[in-house]
Amino acid sequence: MPKISTDRVVESLPWLDSVASVLAKALAPILGPEGDARVKDALYGTWLGHPLHPALVSMPIGFWTSTAVLDLCGREAEADLTLQLGLLSALGAAASGAAQWQDTQDMVKPRRLGALHATLNLAAVAVYGTSWWLRAQGSRKAGVAVAMAGLSMVNVSGWLGGDLAYVLGLGVNRAAFEPPLTDWVDVLADAEIEEGGKARIEANGVPILLSRREGKVWAIAATCTHLGGPLADGTVEGDTVTCPWHGSTFDLRDGSVVHGPATIPQTCFRVQVRNGRIAVRSEA
């Protein structure tokens, strides 16, 4: 049996660009550059230290799968309750997913695939809403049949979501596979970094951002954990650096996330200054 490729799917559906454009424009006031950072951080999962969407998306899928099982077992009240809980939890899953997708506008496949993923999920919500209405009207058999169709849509959408996460790497730490520096690596003359300045260096192929604050040199990974942006090209304000791609802000002293969309902190390195030279190595 031939494998179904999401590459073929998105290439055969160019109209998804129009859907993506409409969605991005609608979401921009909340999730765009001018949106409230507190709202965006909440939806990204910055406060959690982990992308929020994967944690929330299992809820509607779990509730609606339970609805199907309970319908087949004839447990009407319980099936109706899990259907309603699925609709309620889908709101949080949709909001967190929209936040994660909003930053893919310059990436053709993730933008299209995410738009299709969102379209299917919205359609599934409408289908389950219809099922709820049919059940309330006494048309239980029709309501159950419609819910089964909704579950099929959710599963197809989940397959697309899997590609977004595991094939395209949305929500994945882009610096996760950089090798540790087990030994001190000489990288730069101490005099080349002035107070308040920064420099991008490579230590055994690992890109690192050096900065000097109050006379001390700090070192964090130069590849943004969010989508791999070049932190060395970012804006430095005080003790923070902001990624030029999507605006993630990190503390230069310890790599912690100040604002998303990043949810994972930058890797930190130990710094040693000896004989006018700077050397770095992994912290542990």
Divide the 284 residues of the chain into consecutive groups of 10 and give the mean pLDDT of each group.
Answer: 69 86 90 87 92 93 97 96 97 93 85 92 96 96 97 93 89 89 94 92 95 93 94 93 94 94 94 94 87
In the prediction, which pLDDT does 65 show?
Answer: 97
pLDDT of residue 13: 82
For residue 104, the model assigns a pLDDT of 84
| 101-107, long-range: CB < 8 A, 24+ apart | 101/23, 101/164, 101/170, 102/24, 102/27, 102/28, 102/31, 102/32, 103/226, 103/227, 103/245, 103/246, 103/261, 104/170, 105/20, 105/24, 107/168
Global pTM value: 0.85
Contact 274, 217 (CB under 8 A): no
Which residue in the block uniquely carries the two structure tokens 């936040």?
99
Q: Which tokens belong to 162? A: 């899997």
Q: What is the pLDDT of residue 2?
A: 54
- CB-count burial class (<10 Å; 0-12, 13-18, 19+) for 15: exposed
Contacts of residue 94, defined as CB under 8 A and 6 or more positions apart, other chains included, come to: 118, 121, 122, 125
* Nearest CA-CA partner of 258 in 234, 233, 282, 284: 234
- Domain 185-282 belongs to what topology? Rieske Iron-sulfur Protein (2.102.10)
Q: For position 275, what pLDDT does the model report?
A: 92
